[in-house]
Amino acid sequence: MKTLKIHSSFLILLFVAQHSSLNAQVVINEFSASNLNQYVDDHSDYEDWIELFNAGGSSVNLTGYYLSDDSLQNTKWKFPTGTSITANGFIRVWASNRNVSVGANYHTNFSIKQTKNNPEYVVFSDASGVRIEVIRITPKRKTQLGHSYGRTANGGVTWGVFKTPTPNASNNSATSYIGYADKPDFGLIAGFYPTAQTLSITTTEPSSSIRYTTNGTLPTAASPAYTAAINVTSTQVVKAITISANSNVLPSFIEFATYFINSTHTLPVVSIAGDNLDVLANGDKAQKPLGSFEYFNVNKQRTANTYGGFNSHGQDSWSSSQRSLDFASRDEMGYNHSIEEVLFNTSPRNNYQKIILRAAGDDNYPADHQTSNLGSAHVRDAFVHNLSVHGKLNVDVRRGSKCVVYLNGQYWGVYDLRDNPDDHDNTSFYYGQDKYHLYYLETWGTTWAEYGGPAALNEWSALRTYILGNNMATASNYKYVTDRLDVTGLVDYVLINMFTVCSDWLNYNTAWWRGTDSTGTHLKWGYAIWDNDATFGHYINYTGIPDTSPTASPCDPENPVLDDPEDHIGILVKLRQNPDFNQYYISRQIDLWNTVFSCG
């Protein structure tokens, strides 16, 4: 019996030793949260990724092992059954938040944010939940666009930055760098000043130089060297980088600030700046520049700043000289994951990854200073959407607030800051529906699935066919529909467009959607309003409504001559077969006429 106990103890110790050895030989070898447009996954997306390396001479079964972005919840995502990493081999895992695995394409249920106020982690744990390795993404481990952070030699103890990452491949022959030079410090905070100012710039980086620009463009090694304080005599955007004399140290992140000299505004001010940003804003839609974004509140304090990408926004409105722009803050660039500020007084939301700088150009169509645009006001769309919010209509909207925009230090005009209901950050915040749990359809000339693909289109088509092909006066048929369609939202969608005499909807600017995550809300199909510039007798009658005057009949939306390719009005008319729905439709119209849309 004593001999048996000794043998049992020996076997247990041997198992533990072997298990620990297997754990130690598989390590996190490299990861990147900066993959904006380099390495594409099996869904044609560019996602964060984590690479594991097996430093041992035998394969390791990773079934049941874990990865996580949270040091307090290290069993967040489990490797599926049958996952194995070969001797001296690699496995790349996409940190995409998809939580699916097909073949060698592994997708976690989390993504990596490198710019969060509370730093995230990359955690690797064994099948018992024991942590093998924990890496905290501190500011020193943030990477610039397209870079990765990894071991300078496979499985080694020294880490560095790779300008050219090596996912699923050896790090041994790749060029690595110690890190980035220390970012410059500005001796003057961004903001508004009544007179010229003097700006001093310093850095703690040894054996280095500071390069800067004052026109909002990206500083490089060829930019002017900082040798003495800069005299800021007019409004300008100053950007600076530190360049180390050590070739193993990469140039720093950019420090940037806008200084307004003798400028007074009562609205919030947005300063945007970047290479070729003016070329984009002056009409070249092919440009997709990267640049900075700064938000100054009505008290003239900078309360948000970040870096990201710009592109054109709008179609007909680009015939005007003041054009709309989209901005997306990019965590991949290492500055900030979002614009961290409350932008609209109708919402508590305080972070926006994407935002629209909308010039309301369709409310100025067809172009600047033409007699045919008589009555344009640059306010219709935002007014209609904000009115819907204040009236608590059951539709999604683009919230709006006015601001002044400066571009590369130049005054660019009054714009609307707008959020976007068809952005998954929006649906996630308000309804708990992320981009992988959306069926989102849109019509603009043609109909497509912004999210959800063919499954979304097919589900909607089947529901529409059912409604149009069955008697809605039958209680069971009507219940089948109301279990799937928010009919009150359909009513509000029709009425807001009817009351404002909209002539650019149904065949254009129409959006409807539902969420598929049962833990969230908005599980029924509902509607979002979109581009309501063609209201109150202005713009082009694309939809073919019979009358765009203030005396238009409230029954006009039910007119069969309307261009309505998805038959939303046909659905409304069919639902009116049901007496309960019909009474609600009439009562809701009377209610809104005497409250939200009353002129009294």
Q: Determine the pLDDT at residue 600.
A: 66
Report, in angstroms and rounded to the nearest whole number, the Rg of the chain calculated over CA atoms: 29
Can you tell me whether residue 156 is helix, strand or coil?
A: coil
The distance of Cα 115 from the centroid of its chain, to the nearest Å, equals 14
Q: What is the pLDDT of residue 23?
A: 55
Three-state DSSP class for residue 392:
coil
Q: What is the pTM of this model?
A: 0.93
State which amino acid sits at residue 257.
Answer: A
What pLDDT tens digit does each residue of the chain (600 aa) get? 433 333 333 333 233 333 334 456 999 999 999 999 999 999 999 999 999 999 999 999 999 999 999 999 999 999 999 999 999 999 999 999 999 999 999 999 999 999 998 999 999 999 999 999 999 999 999 999 999 999 999 999 999 999 999 999 999 999 999 999 999 999 999 999 999 999 999 999 999 999 999 999 999 999 999 999 999 999 999 999 999 999 999 999 999 999 999 999 999 999 999 999 999 999 999 999 999 999 999 999 999 999 999 999 998 888 888 999 999 999 999 999 999 999 999 999 999 999 999 998 888 877 777 777 777 888 999 999 999 999 999 999 999 999 999 999 999 999 999 999 999 999 999 999 999 999 999 999 999 999 999 999 999 999 999 999 999 999 999 999 999 999 999 999 999 999 999 999 999 999 999 999 999 999 999 999 999 999 998 888 999 999 998 888 887 888 887 899 999 999 999 999 999 999 999 999 999 999 999 976
Cα–Cα distance measured from residue 496 to residue 494, given in angstroms and rounded to the nearest whole number: 6
Question: Which of 460, 466, 464, 412 shows the shortest CA–CA distance to 439?
Answer: 460
| Pairing mode, strands 446-451 and 438-444 | antiparallel
Amino acid at 53: F
Q: What whole-number distance in Å separates Cα of residue 360 and Cα of residue 340? A: 24
Task: Report the CATH architecture of 24-177.
Answer: Sandwich (2.60)
d(Cα 471, Cα 152) in Å, to the nearest integer?
69
d(CA 318, CA 361): 7
Amino acid identity of residue 472, one-letter, is M
In the numeric block, which tokens belong to residue 342? 């409350």
Residue 534: CA atoms inside 13 Å, Cβ hemisphere, count?
23
* Gap between the Cα atoms of 334 and 522, Å rounded: 33
Q: Distance between CA 283 and CA 399 in Å, rounded?
A: 25
Using alpha carbons, select from 416, 434, 389 the residue that is nearest to residue 529: 389
Q: Which two tokens stand for residue 31?
A: 């990861």
Query: Residues of 479-518 as b/e, b for ≥16 C-beta within 10 angstroms?
Result: ebbbebbbbbbbbbbbbbbbbbbbbbbbbbbbbbbbbbbe
User: Distances in Å between the alpha carbon of 573 and those of 110, 170, 546, 570?
Assistant: 44, 64, 17, 5
- Could you give the angle at the alpha carbon of 92 between the alpha carbons of 87 and 96, nearest 5°? 155
Q: Where are the domains of the chain?
A: 24-177, 180-254, 265-420, 424-594
Please count the residues of the chain. 600
CA–CA dist 293, 353 (Å, integer):
12
Separation CA 368–CA 371 (nearest Å): 9
